Structure 1
């Protein structure tokens, strides 16, 4: 007796079907036995000696409940294809089958069905499929049997759809779990990085310091076997200040440098991951010797400072060959960089402390100690002078030393008219792209290799200097032929066109080169440097294919530049600069907390000029110092007047930007203190902003000046944070109150997850360092809520208020809440 399936009653006859359908919807259950159960149940309900289950497009046979050859049924001109194309149930008797074969609608081969009943399904969610029963004996499927098979088909389709959905959900859950693990790992890595950096402020014994490193590594990696090795100053001994090992319980403090795996890592100067077979291969090849218990998995990273390998950090496992992977090696290498920084800082602190103790003790014993101290101070002064005149990354002379040597050549030419020299100005191509795509460490390596190649192209008497960023200059003296400079420039151009090999990757750069020859018309070194720069830009405009010599035709452009410099000097004298103020808001309660002072130039004929039209020129001519002093004086005076006139502004502050030159001036602190006293502006109402770029090459000096300024009560902010120049090693050592997120991240916070991740990391870092966060460039209302939810404290931008002239500020604040 046929059983109704709509709805399906829970009778003993239907129990196998209900159970099989429920199990079929579970992806982990094998489908073949379940299809067999479905066929058995169907045979009990209708005449179904042969049963097919079809799924997919094109049709694929999922189950065959028949011992007959069904290939012809599944052929492109077979009954299954005919059924799927029709997209409706097909109940065919023997006569119907013969008629369709005669009409060439289908092709039938032996054994031929005598009765055929098929029900297809198709929709956009569940896909396509069909169930088919047929027999080779005489039979005619009734309408009741057709309805049963249709109901049965719906149940099978739903079970298969549920199985597919559950499989997709499992895959999505697995992907989500992977993302969660990665985010947690990144958060832990950032925390470890912060903890390691904080160790530089603690003067710990070396073994305790390394023990702290080990504790931090345990948060990310399984590292029951861990040691730190350091090369001594004579590079003859290998010291082990810290070691934890399952088999080697006694710590060997040191041993001569040999051919162990640690020495092999130091020689390679790059991270290394070895399984047992790879380790054994190195031993068999004689590249390393067996030392201690053989590890199944060995992983190490060099500790590098200024391109010198000072040691290594190693983790190993004695039980599992694939215990560590490439991701583990990458994390170890990354953290090793920060460990090296901390060790160097600690060694420097320890060395300074030991030297000071030795000097103090010796002074009490005899006068000779004083002589030693004087000699040591002279050496340090000499080193400081060297450091002030050389680039810290490449070791090349910097701009200041280049100008000194140009002064010497100027004087020599005045004494001897036949003495000739030339200046080559070089700007690297594609450097910014290398920095942005491969990272600043790769960019630094590129600059070092460029400096090495430049020195190979020169004579011993020539000078190569790094002017800053990706710009270099070459000073050729005592030239005998005017073509010598062009020949040297072409040689440099050819050398730079060759690929650079960095971390086993070839990088192409090249450069644009300008040449300026000595001329009695020059009055200062800056003029010939400027003309070489102009020629370089001409070369860059031509694609940098050939060096370009500065000629009279370029002088007009130089004169335009000179005219601008003169106009800017006159603008300072005639007080043509004015201050506009952009409001800064607290994001949690939308209250006004202050303003940022932004300079504008009121040109006599061109009208109001924005900073982008003149700041770069003023920086190059050092007029920026006088402009900064003028802006600081005006802003402090204006804001002090407002605070006295409008009590509501008493708890607001104003931000003023300072250029990098302030950190090299001896009277910077006196100027700021004098302005505050003269204007009677409370120091806590003033915020001075510095950029990451302004700290390049003068972190230590800047830190000293900033700490002195901070002691005045003035608050400090890091502007444009996130543009990639700063080092976390120095950030925590600066007395900063506020970190300002660069607008390049803020403008994408509502559209790009990466921007949100970067900003969230900056907020976490600032909170860990007890700093506030100010987001610049808020130009969309959606950005405000996102930044507020991230914990960003302050914000400014066109969405919150455009910069306004000083005359408009009192009216603006009249209705604003300025409580902090």
Structure 2
């Protein structure tokens, strides 16, 4: 049932009056004005008319039998469908009380009989216009409310979507932060997060005098061997297993982090003294000493641990970690698979080493090195047979620095390659000068020069080319050049090294095994590599006269060398008795302080000129 009409449709007016004449007159008047008019004599007819079609306006008489106009108006206003229809009372009652009552029950206007037609039309038009306006406002309000509801719904959906995006972004940020602060392999905190926690611990220690902590820095021993031999996947599996064992050695209040590679750091908080940290380190070493049963392999590995007490005087947390790292390296130097507690003196040593390294790099650039030469004596003739080139560093402030102080650093930093090539070139130039110098009046064509080579040189792709270039520039006979190598070179990569050594032999260069007897001393090396000479380490020469048992090694070494067609040089000869013993054992050559220490190049010529005999 359609109860609404548009603004341009004919307006419907319902007249309720029990007087037919009144109905006829009003109906005729309103019809002529273009209104649709319906009539009702009583309440029931009025109700039926409203149920059939809602009128736009009701003209209501008060004096109606059974149900008067006041009651009809009350009932219309009480009904939801008819409550908004304007009601104009038309009555012969002129009392103010009647008019007030009419407005109280819901009437919008009051026309007194007898009425003027023009008055009725004006009042009807006004009320219809008001109703039309109200309906339009209601419609606009409804449309506005619908638009508001729709917009609100859109905003709610947009807000919900935005909230979802915010939640997703927060989750992503949390995940990214977690990734940024944790190790992807083990899931442990990484260096960044560990340093943050360490900084918090340091700040707390500065504020609370009874709060103490310690830092442990751990590095696995020989982990690289596992990676290189079994592969990185097995290495990763081992790292995860190590992380689990370390975690099992700690309390829930301790922090464990992986720094990358095979390095781990531990923060122990709320401890009483350093003994607690030592107990944790001992527990870790014990757990790590047990075999790791991986998916396909059983692996043994251990670690070196540095311990640093959390002194509140540290300015930065990184310094705490640095000193724990220093203590760890000291543990490695002392034999690995152990712990070491940091001592402030260690930092001073490390600082001095760093300073020495920096000075060494500058020394390479400025060529601050010199070569001294120690004579090698033929035991049979007592004459000088050759010289060993020994490097010295002429430090601008520390004076003459011996190789034991800087060669290990040069090896570690890779500077040794440049230094070694320079020494070789200098020694060959010196040999050439000696052989061609007229002041000696002697034939020195058989004089040899011996140069120590670092194992690192053999890893250079152009090593042989460097040798060839030096020989070509100095024009010395390769047979007068002796290159001293150590057993460690032969162990590392025998196939590659063997090829290079045979290349050197083809060039007529002699090869000397230095410090024989102090390493593995495997006879297989002597058979497998083209060696010309064995050098007996000075420690064996020194012990010859101490007891017969120690002396027994020297004759054995000499016998082995001679049986394999090699000559023997004894180092560190300091007494005539030692020389006599070596001569009795048929040792070929000797060098040491008994004859001369290492001397400067300009003194070598003078020594040769004196033609000494021992």
* Contact 2:217-2:325 within 8 A present in 1 as well: no
C-alpha separation in 2, matches of 1:522 and 1:709: 53
Change (3 A) 1:475 1:654: same
* Counterpart position of 2:537: 742
**Offset of residue 727 of structure 1:** 1.6
Match of residue 424 from structure 1: 218
Aligned equivalents of 2:305, 2:263: Cα separation in 1? 20
1:751 is aligned to 546
Shift of 1:424: 2.3
- 2:411 matched to which residue of 1? 619
Change in Cα spacing, 1:765 to 1:554, as seen in structure 2 (3 Å) is closer
Contact preservation (8 Å) 1:462, 1:476: no
Q: How do residues 254-273 of structure 1 correspond to structure 2 at under 5 angstroms?
A: none
Change (3 A) 1:552 1:462: farther
Give secondary structure in 2 for the equivalent of 1:681: coil
Name the CA shift for 1:685/1:522 in 2 (closer, same or farther; >3 Å). farther
Matches within 5 A, 1:416-815: 424-425=218-219, 459-460=240-241, 482=267, 490-495=282-287, 513-514=305-306, 534-536=326-328, 547=339, 556-646=348-438, 648-815=443-610
Residues 533, 623 of structure 1: alpha-carbon distance in 2 compared, 3 angstrom cutoff: farther
Q: Distance between the aligned counterparts of 2:514 and 2:343, measured in 1? A: 40
CA contact (8 A) 2:513 2:533 kept: yes
CA shift for structure 1 position 705: 1.5
Once the two structures are TM-superposed, the CA of residue 554 in structure 1 deviates from its matched residue by 6.1
Conserved 8 A contact 1:745-1:755 = yes
CA–CA separation in structure 2 for the residues paired with 1:792 and 1:529 = 54
For residue 649 of structure 1, report the CA deviation from its aligned partner.
2.1
Q: CA offsets, 1:227-251, max 9 Å, x none?
A: xxxxxxxxxxxxxxxxxxxxxxxxx
Distance 2:591 2:321 in 1: 39
Tell me, yes or no, if the aligned pair for 1:458 and 1:488 is still in contact at 8 Å.
no
SS at match of 1:732: helix
CA change 1:780–1:476 in 2 (3 A) is same
Q: Is the 8 A contact 1:514 1:534 kept in 2?
A: yes
CA contact (8 A) 2:517 2:537 kept: yes
Q: Distance in 1 between matches of 2:416 and 2:330?
A: 26
* Aligned-residue offset at 1:601: 0.9
Rate the CA distance shift 1:600–1:477 in 2: closer, same or farther, 3 A. closer
Distance 1:766 1:542 in 2: 34
Displacement, 1:514? 2.3
- Deviation of 1:493 after TM superposition, in Å, equals 2.2
Q: Distance in 2 between matches of 1:798 and 1:730?
A: 30
Shift of 1:695: 3.0
What pairs up with 1:368-383 in 2 under 5 angstroms? Answer: none
In structure 2, what is the Cα distance between the partners aligned to 1:663 and 1:543?
A: 27
Contact 2:452–2:485 under 8 Å retained in 1: yes
Contact 2:259 2:265 in 1 (8 A): no
Contact 1:688 1:714 in 2 (8 A): yes
Cα distance change, pair 587–542 in 1 and its aligned pair in 2 (3 A)? closer
* CA distance, structure 2, for counterparts of residue 810 and residue 541 of structure 1: 42
Contact 1:461 1:477 in 2 (8 A): no
C-alpha spacing 1:552/1:776, structure 2 compared with 1 (3 Å)? closer
Shift of 1:736: 0.7
**Deviation at residue 791 of structure 1 after TM alignment:** 1.4
Q: Following the alignment from structure 2 to structure 1, what is the Cα–Cα distance between the partners of residues 361 and 529?
A: 33
Mark the CA change 1:458 to 1:758 in structure 2 (over 3 Å): closer, same or farther: same
Q: For 1:802, what is the secondary structure of its paired residue?
A: coil
Residue 621 of structure 1: CA displacement? 1.5
> Whole-Å Cα distance in 2 between the matches of residues 726 and 475 of structure 1?
37
| CA positional deviation for 1:620 | 1.6
Taking the aligned partners of 1:639 and 1:752, their CA distance within structure 2 comes to: 39
Q: CA deviation at 1:478?
A: 10
> Per the alignment, do residues 528 and 463 of structure 1 end up closer, same or farther by CA in structure 2, a change over 3 Å counting?
farther
What is the count of residue pairs matched by the alignment? 358
SS in structure 1 opposite 2:528? coil
CA distance in 1, matches of 2:443, 2:244: 59
Q: What is the distance in 1 between the residues matched to 2:465 and 2:278? A: 48
Contact 2:384 2:612 (C-alpha < 8 Å) held by counterparts: yes
State how far apart, in whole Å, the 2-side matches of 1:478 and 1:721 are.
Answer: 36
Find the aligned partners of 2:583 and 2:282 in 1 and give their Cα distance: 55
Q: CA deviation at 1:694?
A: 3.4
1:367-406 map, 5 Å: none
Do the aligned partners of residues 557 and 588 (structure 1) sit closer, same or farther apart at CA in structure 2, a change above 3 Å counting? closer
How far apart are the structure 2 equivalents of 1:683 and 1:806? 21
In structure 2, the gaps of 5 or more residues are 1-182, 196-215, 223-228, 230-234, 246-257, 270-276, 291-301, 309-315
**Which SS does the other structure have where 1:809 is aligned?**
helix
Matches within 5 A, 1:31-180: none
Post-superposition offset of 1:541? 11
Distance 1:560 1:497 in 2: 34
SS in 1 for 2:431: helix
- SS of the aligned residue for 2:240 comes to coil
- Deviation track 1:10-62 (CA, whole Å, cap 9, x = no partner) reads xxxxxxxxxxxxxxxxxxxxxxxxxxxxxxxxxxxxxxxxxxxxxxxxxxxxx
Relative CO higher for 1 or 2, CA cutoff 8 Å, sep ≥ 6?
2
Shift of the 684–493 alpha-carbon distance from structure 1 to 2, 3 Å rule, reads same
Task: Specify the structure having the higher radius of gyration (Cα).
Answer: 2
Return the offset for 1:574: 1.1
Q: Is the 8 A contact 1:588 1:788 kept in 2?
A: yes
Deviation of 1:663 (Å)? 2.3
Alpha-carbon separation, structure 2, partners of 1:489 and 1:815: 63
Gap change, CA 1:685 and 1:529, over 3 Å in 2? farther
Aligned to 1:84: none
Shift of 1:668: 1.3
Secondary structure of residue in 2 paired with 1:639: helix
- Runs of 5+ consecutive residues of structure 1 not aligned to the other structure: 1-408, 429-447, 449-453, 465-472, 499-509
Offset, 1:759: 1.2
Residue 792 of structure 1 aligns to a residue whose secondary structure is: coil
